[in-house]
Structure 1
């Protein structure tokens, strides 16, 4: 059975539901958990596809994304600890979240990636792509998708 789960979270409701289910799964199987939040890279306004008026400075962006990651991961860690599940938290910056998910799973020795589907349907799934689909396509580590 699985011993070490990686659960990526972006703080959305669906993602938080997947974290809670991953914690239950880990508790039932005696596995440990690594919660991951992938922070976006800073894109200078001159290089942004659609520059936003009043875009945050580099320092503001870095601080805000780090604070967001801490809040999201602290909540996941607290839920795991309350359930009696050992949990490590990791935040990384990457331009391709799916690649970061796979890389961290390998680095941490995870034997299952437990992630939400993010519920994209129809044309938006084709146009925008899905990080979950990319992980499913590129990961050699088993992936459990929670809906």
Structure 2
């Protein structure tokens, strides 16, 4: 059925539900590989300087965000293994989440993208479907399952 499934994870409950659904699909084909991807957004010094919290030594928080994203992927890998997932690889990328997910899917030639309807952030503009999942589903090079 599917040979490569990309699961976008962000640590939210919805992304873990999406992961569980992807594992169900992976179990249909023993050769199916699962790729977990967490994307963090790069923050410029300008964006950091606008923060309400201003440390005395302003630094770009990319390293902390990359470490957090790595921990999200590791947690998702463990969860997937506990649910019976196999052939799992984890990846961390930076950039705008929707663009990074679509580009990663193209580069890795995935057959299916699975992601939660809402991630860790949602706003009034994404009442029915998260803005990232909306953009990914509209630009993806393959089918997208939104859980």
For the aligned pair, the TM-score class normalised by the smaller chain equals 0.7 to 0.9
**Structure 2 unaligned runs (5+)?**
none
C-alpha distance in 2 between matches for 1:122 and 1:64 = 24
Query: Which residue of 2 is the match for residue 135 of structure 1?
Result: 136
The number of equivalent residue pairs is 140
Q: TM-score, normalised by structure 2?
A: 0.82
Quote the offset at 1:49 in angstroms: 9.1
Provide the rounded CA distance (Å) in 1 between the counterparts of 2:122 and 2:72: 25
Conserved in 1, the CA contact under 8 Å of 2:15 and 2:115? yes
Which structure: greater helix fraction? Answer: 1
- 3-state SS of the aligned residue for 2:26? helix
Give the drift of 1:51. 2.9
| Aligned mates of 2:66, 2:5 — CA distance in 1 | 23
Unaligned runs of 5+ in 1: none
TM-score norm. by structure 1 comes to 0.82
Q: Which residue matches 2:89?
A: 88
Pairwise CA RMSD? 2.5
Q: Deviations over 1:53-105 (max 9, x none)?
A: 225622xx1231122112111112223334141111110010x2111001111
Partner of 1:32: 33
Counterpart of 2:11 in structure 1 is 11
Moved more, 26-35 or 47-56: 47-56
Map residues 109-124 of structure 1 onto 2, 5 A cutoff: 109-118=109-118, 123-124=124-125
Give distance in 2, aligned partners of 1:135 and 1:86.
Answer: 24
Answering whether residue 41 of structure 2 is matched by residue 62 of structure 1, we say: no
Q: Which residue is 2:104 aligned to? A: 104
| SS at structure 2 position matched to 1:34 | strand
* CA distance in 2: counterparts of 1:49 and 1:137, whole angstroms: 33
